Amino acid sequence: MKRIVMFFSLLSMIALAAPLASASQTEVIINGSTTVLPVMQRAGEAFMNANPDVTLAISGGGSGNGIRALNEGLCHVAMSSRDIRATELEQGQNRGVNAVKIPVAIDALVPIVHPDNPVQNLTIEQLRDIYAGKITNWKSVGGRDENIVVVTRDTASGTFETWQDIIMAQEKVFPRALLQASNGSVVQVVTGNRRALGYIGFGYLNDRVKKLNVNGIEATPASAVAGEWPIARELYVFTNGAPEGAVKRLIDFVLDPQKGQKAVAEIGFIPLQ
């Protein structure tokens, strides 16, 4: 079975992608969000099984890195868990890149703790105060008399920006928070520390961590689609102009309810309605 070629740094991509072939090439280079990464991996495996003439080279690194790579002509598809910024759009246009946004899934950002943590629910205000360093002990929010270890994403992450926009409301995350480069590393830290609090994309939930309710609402596909879950968002890919050739075939596959969207559900994210 043909496998997806995966590269985990932008440096690896640079070696592969200068210059890029046209949209009709048989290798499609994809870079960006670690949240969108498993969607493209799962759907990409199925796509290549159905399209043996196309190879996918997929790398993580964060939404900002993916959009930067698209603007610099280093990838055909940028994965992003946030919308493109006006400055990024302008930077691309100055290089002749017309970024086109395509939603591929729905995600819910979910606060997580160690399974031994007795806390079940936090309000948005409590989350904001914890991440701002104003609440520092679990006892203040109904937990044990233990310091809270705050785990957050790095600033290149679209997940971080969504958290910043919805939860922090312009307040800054306090400087002693532990910065992590991916959803997976957040899970790893929280799994190993019963005092930790982090947040991850819905598709990364597993039985090694416990999800928290927010404002008394449970994070579920239904609550995210209905707009009840307060930290829901769309996940995107960006292409340079309308997709063509092998890129269009890939995007069409990902958006197909019986193909790529089925893969979205299989890995725990929420398919487009």
- Domain ranges for the chain: 5-106+234-266, 108-225
Q: What is the band of 45 on the pLDDT scale with cuts at 50, 70, 90?
A: very high
The whole-angstrom separation of Cα 150 and Cα 87 is: 30
The whole-angstrom separation of Cα 18 and Cα 77 is: 15
The whole-angstrom separation of Cα 143 and Cα 202 is: 24
pLDDT digits (tens, 9 = 90+) for 157-213: 889 999 999 999 979 999 999 999 999 999 999 999 999 999 999 989 999 999 999
Confidence (pLDDT) at 20: 55
Domains 5-106+234-266 and 108-225 alike in fold: yes
Assign domain 5-106+234-266 to its CATH architecture. Answer: 3-Layer(aba) Sandwich (3.40)
CB 199 within 8 A of CB 112: yes
Confidence (pLDDT) at 9: 40
Confidence (pLDDT) at 141: 98
**Taking 70 as the threshold, does the pLDDT of residue 22 lie above it?**
no
pLDDT digits (tens, 9 = 90+) for 56-109: 999 998 999 999 999 999 999 999 999 999 999 999 999 999 999 999 999 999
Closest CA to 221 of 158, 267, 159, 257: 267
pLDDT digits (tens, 9 = 90+) for 159-169: 999 999 999 99
CA angle centred on 240, ends 238 and 244, rounded to 5°: 100
Q: Which CATH class is domain 108-225?
A: alpha beta
Q: What is the band of 26 on the pLDDT scale with cuts at 50, 70, 90?
A: confident
